[in-house]
Structure 1
Amino acid sequence: MRVLYLNQAALSAKATSVVRDQHNQSRYLLVGKWGLRADVVSVYTIAGSLEAEVKQETLGLLPKFRLLYHRQLVGRVSKTFGVIREVLFVRGLNWIIMGNLNHGHFKIYHGRDLIASIDRVSASGNTVALTVDHPDHEALVICLATILDRWAKHQQRLPNPLKAWAPRTLSPGEVAPSIARQPVKKLAD
């Protein structure tokens, strides 16, 4: 298993970022941007050959993405409504992504086999470590890390509607507000 390091700040920037290995050797270039339909993020080798791409198909609350490996469609990723928010499926590859968007820790499985793990490693959370089982999976895992980073940042910006309506606790000596009721006037017959 090889460990790759990715600068998380570069994921959201619309610029080229370098993916390095544990020996600080440059291995991949990440190029592209998000936000509009048909936007693409591409992973190139340092030599310049295209390894993988992730293309945004739809916008909205449940965006869909296509994963391409050597210009061939290999899978689709989308968020789904449901009870389990921390589980995502990569259709086509039959991969399951389990983790936590808030903490940035994920594991990718194919059946019982661990394909990769994605973890924030620096104290400030700016560096992401990708531990990948096989060199053929590295570019696809980089693409999945960009999707997960986008969803994590998008989730942090959304307000929690339950928080606004949640009852608050009263401080000592504070009286709960009450609604003054007006007597009901009876209509004359």
Structure 2
Amino acid sequence: MTEYYIQEKHLSSATRTIVKDANGKALYLLVGQWGRKGNVLSLYAMDGKMVAHIKQASVIFGRKFEIYQNFTKVGTLHKIFNWPGDFYYIKQLHWAVYGDIYNHHYSINHFNQRVMTMDKGSFLTGDYYVLDVKKQADAPVAICVAAIMDYWLYNRSKEKQKKTGLEVTFCA
């Protein structure tokens, strides 16, 4: 198993996000933006080669994201249901994502085989998401799935705030 570390709340933002190993060595760079159909988030190895990317395929009837590895579409992630907890599925890969999405504690399984677990960790350098990926070859796609989960989580929170009138705007 290989662990990957991503600074908390940087995973799905529209800024550059660095994915590191347990020794702090930068392994991947995640760049791009979300929000509109056709937007793309790309994952690059530190040698500059794009290893995976996510394309936002739908925003109207439930958000769907197409996942590509080495420019080949490997699947489409969409939410199946959210009772009693969220459950997401990538049909082409036979990957199921479930657990406590709200607290970044979930798993990705291929049938009964674990692909990845997501958790949070606190270190001297800050708070991080810790991705524990069983096979290194699955890491680029698993990191992309984690970015989608993070995006859904934080955008769902923004939508709830708007509906309940809790949105705060600061003016200079």
Which TM-score tier does this pair reach, normalised by the shorter chain?
0.7 to 0.9
Map 1:59-78; keep pairs closer than 5 Å.
59-60=59-60, 62-78=62-78
Q: Which one has a larger percent strand, Structure 1 or Structure 2?
A: 2
CA distance in 2, matches of 1:116, 1:86: 17
**TM-score, normalization: structure 1?**
0.78
Map 1:90-129; keep pairs closer than 5 Å.
90-122=90-122, 126-129=127-130
- Change in Cα spacing, 1:31 to 1:38, as seen in structure 2 (3 Å) is same
Greater alpha carbon shift after TM alignment, 86-95 vs 53-62 = 53-62
Query: Which 5+ residue runs of structure 2 have no aligned equivalent?
Result: 165-172
CA distance in 1, matches of 2:39, 2:155: 16
- The aligned counterpart of 2:137 is 136
Q: Is the 8 A contact 1:62 1:80 kept in 2?
A: no
Greater alpha carbon shift after TM alignment, 142-151 vs 3-12 = 3-12
1:82 Cα offset (Å): 5.6
CA distance in 1, matches of 2:111, 2:12: 31
Greater alpha carbon shift after TM alignment, 75-84 vs 33-42 = 75-84
Q: Count residues in correspondence.
A: 163
CA distance in 2, matches of 1:83, 1:13: 27
- The aligned counterpart of 1:176 is none
CA distance in 1, matches of 2:143, 2:42: 9
Q: Is the 8 A contact 1:3 1:131 kept in 2?
A: yes
1:3 Cα offset (Å): 0.3
1:121 Cα offset (Å): 1.7
CA distance in 1, matches of 2:160, 2:45: 39
Write out per-residue CA displacement over residues 150-174 of structure 1, whole angstroms, 9 at most, x where no aligned residue: 11112223339xx9xxxxxxxxxxx
1:11 Cα offset (Å): 2.4
Q: Which amino acid aligns with 2:8?
A: Q
Q: Which amino acid aligns with 2:111?
A: G
CA distance in 2, matches of 1:30, 1:128: 14
Q: Which amino acid aligns with 2:40?
A: V
Q: Which amino acid aligns with 1:91?
A: K
- Change in Cα spacing, 1:48 to 1:79, as seen in structure 2 (3 Å) is same
Q: Is the 8 A contact 1:28 1:45 kept in 2?
A: yes
Cα-Cα RMSD: 2.4
CA distance in 2, matches of 1:93, 1:65: 14
CA distance in 2, matches of 1:6, 1:19: 5
CA distance in 1, matches of 2:98, 2:157: 18
CA distance in 2, matches of 1:62, 1:133: 30
- The aligned counterpart of 1:79 is 79
